[in-house]
Structure 1
Amino acid sequence: MGLSRAGRRGPFLRSIRARYTCWVGSLFLVVLSTVATLAVLGIRNSITKDIEEGLRQDILSWANQMAPGDYPPPQPQLRSDYLQLVDQEGRVVAGNDAASGLPPLTDVRPALGERLEDVVTWPEQSPCLLVAVLRFDGPVAQTLFGGQEYYIIAGEVSPPALTMPYMLIGFAAAVLIGSAAAAWVTWVVVGRMLCPVRKISATMREATAGDLSLRVPTPPGDDEIARFARTSNLYLDRLEKAVSAQRRFASLVSHELRAPVAGLHVQLEEALMYPDEVDSHSALRLTLRTTERLQAIIDDLLAYTKVKDSGPIAYQPIDLTALVEEELAAQPRAGACIQLHRAGRPVVLGSRVQLSRVLDNLLANARRHARSRIDVSIARRNGHAVLVVQDDGQGIAPGDRERVFEPFVRLAEGQRLDPGGSGLGLAVSRETCIAHGGTLTVEDGPSGARFVVRLPACEDIPAIEPA
């Protein structure tokens, strides 16, 4: 298996700061090199054109001074370094002082049909020259030179900008300095930008399962890094709450399971230690009841974790009134009288099994606490299906109305009426309602406890009858 891209990178290039610095430095190097190359070519072309134009003007000025048989030397004010009049045999006929005694500056001659030609030449033991050659032909040659071909050669020493590498070295140094400066600025700026990120990373590394109270430093402003810091703190808040809830839940589970397990251990140990004094049949019956309680607690735990931690499932339309009628028909006849009050037939999206369990838990709780009567009402209000289970018992104090929905929380009255309960029924019911997009609360009522379930209604979808 090949290495990943991150694995193939060196330690330096794994840093965002280093990568951005290399990218910006390379980009500036390419751009500035291109600009410098164009600048050098432009400057050289401009200098060459200027010199060539001066040479041609000097040639024409000297040619205008000539007359048939009279070839005066060039005027001193002409700027060309060398001026020569050369015949068709290659002899220098006239010239300025600098060109006297020198052979023709170049052997290049304009082609037929061309009068002027520019060349670059390197005479022996002389600097590089820019040379322009004028060819006399036609009527001018006939008038001035009796029809023979003559040439005026003008030359100027090439300036250092064209022959020496100073300009190239200067531009190359400027390119390197500019690229290095851009890379350094990028290094500094990105480093300052990533400084809060490094602090956040250091804090996140320090946060452990044993200490989730740390929070990352939040830089001022509302840029991406500040929002990232605030989001990290929100995540740490949620993580701390989730871990605390898990620890508390594990502690509660351990506490609830410890008592029946300890009782079972004592019963079995007593039966083994005193086989002649303990009735084996009674001991087995007591052990069976203890295991049944353990099984009930475990079943409630599985139901609670399944509802709380499972993802969304495919819900189906359910006629809530029909579901309530089915559950009420399955209730035992003995005990408190149950009255059903209908106000419409609201339809909800949900799991029939889970909603049946919610209703069964609420009815079981009401039957335990009711003196003589339980009222169940169904209605549709403000786009919600509202299910109310009201008993005429002692009720729940306002300070305990939220506590009863916590796992394993059982009030004194509940422990007295149902000593073997697990305290998970109401917790499972609330989590089920939340998973269905609804709520389960305890509200004020005329007497006793009033549990209210609110679920989103969808009257435009036909309910699916149970098979």
Structure 2
Amino acid sequence: MRSRLGSVRAKATAGATLVVALALVAAGVALLLVLRGNLHDQAGLEAEVAARGVAERIATGSVDGDLDLPDGDEHPVVVTDEDGRVLAVGDDVRAVDGKRIAKPGHGAGGAAAHASGDEDDADDDEDADGPKPGEVDDDVDFRDGTATVGDRTEGYRFASVEAKDTGGRKVTVRAGSALTPEQDAVGTVRSAMLIGLPLLLLVVAGVTWLVTRRALRPVEGIRGEMAAITASTDLSRRVPVPAAQDEIGRLARTTNETLAALEASVDRQRRFVADASHELRSPIASLRTQLEVGVAHPELLDVPGAVEDTVRLQHLAADLLLLARLDAGEKPTGSRVDLAALVREDTSQRVNDRIPVRVGRLDGAEVSGSRGQLGRVLGNLLDNAQRHAAASVRAEVVREGEWVTLRVDDDGPGVPEAERERIFERFVRLDDARARDDGGAGLGLAIARDVAVRHGGSLAVREGSVFELRLPVAR
């Protein structure tokens, strides 16, 4: 059992650790993506600021002047004209996206020569798409690429902005911002997560293991007590109930309720066996005595007494067999039984009864069940009434909506209110009038109630000596 409990703890620990691991991995990936996106956007913003700074200086002056470009190590900048010719480039910028950057001759002079050659086209460009002279275009084009500054090549986020100087000449300013800080930050966070995730999972696994062990400790107590009960067969013992009002507490209480029901069932079975043995002993002893006397003295054999004892044994054996079948959960058949016809048939056969049975109201109503068992209930109720009646026994069947009631009453002293439930227990007789010679073994009413309950109805005593059997009408 300890290995099974250990398996439960292991499964719970593995499950919790797996769930936490998946959650942390998902959260870590999302964090890295968000961090990378933010740093990427920040690099683009820095590149845009650098590009616009140069573009605004060009728009307010001329591309032929001193542009005061940023240091290439900080923001590599390349200024080109509409034909893609390089007009200006930052210090130490040697290549962009793998293409070598040719330095313009004499700085602004080369650009001026080119500008004078296109002087006639300036007016035509004023009406073209793009910014007007002295303005910077609002649109920005972002792209990722590489730049070689000095001897080092790195990834950059480039921002391209168009502008026109006061002379109407359009240029494109491309400035970059290094992505190395972004990559370093993402790499640092990723490394921290790769180191911290296993440590956090170890903590989660350890805490889950300890918590599960503590939670399952009452289960081990319940198991140990159940094993002790099984070994000792002492059903009076109970498992410990933890103070916590949780599932394990409810399990312990349910287990104790099951043990109590099992103890009551075993006690009832023991009493039943003891009472049945006691009831069988008397007629068997009497019958044996009569037979022994008959063997020794045939003239003294009491044949009627022997027959009476044999019949009594037969009835008792039949009652015990029926009770055993009812206790085994035998379900009644689904036949339709007319209670009024059953009463007429049974009373017509009682020709030698001490007190004749008067038949009252007989409503036609059918119930679903076993005709034999319901006939046994009617017979037991009539026998019980005749045993205690002074001069009158009456039976009637009354339908009340979806229920039909069979009533049997007599003019006897009735059943005291305090004993109206006890008489339905097995082998119960209330007084001397129910002695073994005058009455049965105390099983008739117990059988009648068990049959009534298994047919979906009830059997109770009303007004002292009125027995009512209520059954649902068959659909």
Q: TM-score range by the shorter chain?
A: 0.5 to 0.7
Closer, same or farther: CA 68–231 of 1 in aligned 2, 3 Å = closer
Cα deviation code 1:203-232 (max 9, x no counterpart): 5555545224415526466x7666555544
Partners of 1:226 and 1:453 lie apart in 2 by 42
Partners of 1:80 and 1:23 lie apart in 2 by 45
The answer to which of 156-165 and 325-334 deviates more is 156-165
Aligned-CA RMSD value? 5.2
Partners of 1:89 and 1:346 lie apart in 2 by 111
Aligned 8 A contact 1:55 1:132 in 2: no
Match of 2:146 in 1: 120
Q: Is it true that 1:453 corresponds to 2:468 in the alignment?
A: yes
Cα deviation code 1:64-86 (max 9, x no counterpart): 5885765565368x993555679
Equivalences for 1:241-256 in 2 at 5 Å? Answer: 241-256=264-279
Cα deviation code 1:2-56 (max 9, x no counterpart): xxxxxxx996367663365145324413431332242233234223323432442
Aligned 8 A contact 1:387 1:453 in 2: yes
Match of 1:29 in 2: 24
Partners of 1:133 and 1:46 lie apart in 2 by 11
Cα shift at 1:374:
3.2
Cα shift at 1:129:
4.8
Sequence identity percentage: 26
Closer, same or farther: CA 296–377 of 1 in aligned 2, 3 Å = closer
The answer to which of 121-130 and 50-59 deviates more is 121-130
Q: Which of 377, 390, 398 in structure 1 is aligned with 2:395?
A: 377
Match of 2:189 in 1: 167
Aligned 8 A contact 1:115 1:135 in 2: yes
Cα deviation code 1:304-344 (max 9, x no counterpart): 2334443543445544333222211101336334333x135
Cα shift at 1:424:
2.1
Cα deviation code 1:414-467 (max 9, x no counterpart): 335348x4432232122223333444345555xxxx251231464xx79xxxxx
Match of 2:238 in 1: 214
Partners of 2:271 and 2:243 lie apart in 1 by 34
Partners of 2:144 and 2:423 lie apart in 1 by 104
Partners of 1:368 and 1:28 lie apart in 2 by 79
Q: Is it true that 1:303 corresponds to 2:286 in the alignment?
A: no
Aligned 8 A contact 2:241 2:249 in 1: no
Aligned 8 A contact 1:348 1:456 in 2: no
Secondary structure of the 1:389 match is: strand
Partners of 1:236 and 1:15 lie apart in 2 by 31
Partners of 1:367 and 1:115 lie apart in 2 by 111
Cα deviation code 1:123-169 (max 9, x no counterpart): 6853635274979999999969xxxxx99775555443324621322
The answer to which of 177-186 and 53-62 deviates more is 177-186
Partners of 1:424 and 1:325 lie apart in 2 by 24
Match of 2:410 in 1: 390
Letter in 2 for 1:45: H
Runs of 5+ unmatched residues, structure 1: 1-8, 145-149, 463-467
Secondary structure of the 1:128 match is: strand
Partners of 2:282 and 2:222 lie apart in 1 by 45
Cα shift at 1:403:
4.2
Secondary structure of the 2:408 match is: strand
TM-score normalised to structure 1 length = 0.68
Aligned 8 A contact 1:215 1:233 in 2: yes
Aligned 8 A contact 1:197 1:225 in 2: yes
Cα shift at 1:302:
1.1
Q: Is it true that 1:329 corresponds to 2:329 in the alignment?
A: no
Closer, same or farther: CA 173–308 of 1 in aligned 2, 3 Å = same
Partners of 1:194 and 1:412 lie apart in 2 by 58
Cα shift at 1:376:
1.0
Letter in 1 for 2:99: V
Partners of 1:36 and 1:365 lie apart in 2 by 86
Letter in 2 for 1:80: E
Partners of 1:436 and 1:68 lie apart in 2 by 108
Partners of 1:430 and 1:136 lie apart in 2 by 102
Match of 2:123 in 1: none
Partners of 1:136 and 1:321 lie apart in 2 by 109
Letter in 2 for 1:31: A
Q: Which of 344, 348, 361 in structure 2 is aligned with 1:343?
A: 361
Q: Is it true that 1:12 corresponds to 2:7 in the alignment?
A: yes
Cα deviation code 1:249-279 (max 9, x no counterpart): 23323333455667788899x79xxx9x576
Cα deviation code 1:320-377 (max 9, x no counterpart): 333222211101336334333x135252514332222122223334444556x23213
Secondary structure of the 1:359 match is: helix
Aligned 8 A contact 1:118 1:130 in 2: yes
Cα shift at 1:301:
0.7
Closer, same or farther: CA 178–37 of 1 in aligned 2, 3 Å = farther
Secondary structure of the 1:433 match is: helix
Runs of 5+ unmatched residues, structure 2: 102-129, 131-139
Secondary structure of the 1:214 match is: coil
Match of 2:120 in 1: none
Aligned 8 A contact 2:358 2:394 in 1: yes
Cα deviation code 1:80-109 (max 9, x no counterpart): 35556799999997644xx2xx74465438
Partners of 1:135 and 1:334 lie apart in 2 by 122
Secondary structure of the 1:249 match is: helix
Partners of 1:202 and 1:386 lie apart in 2 by 52
Aligned residues: 427
Aligned 8 A contact 2:155 2:179 in 1: yes
Letter in 2 for 1:210: D
Equivalences for 1:439-450 in 2 at 5 Å? Answer: 439-442=458-461, 450=465
Match of 1:130 in 2: 156
Aligned 8 A contact 2:156 2:177 in 1: yes
Letter in 2 for 1:126: R
Match of 1:80 in 2: 74
Aligned 8 A contact 1:62 1:75 in 2: no
Aligned 8 A contact 2:458 2:469 in 1: yes
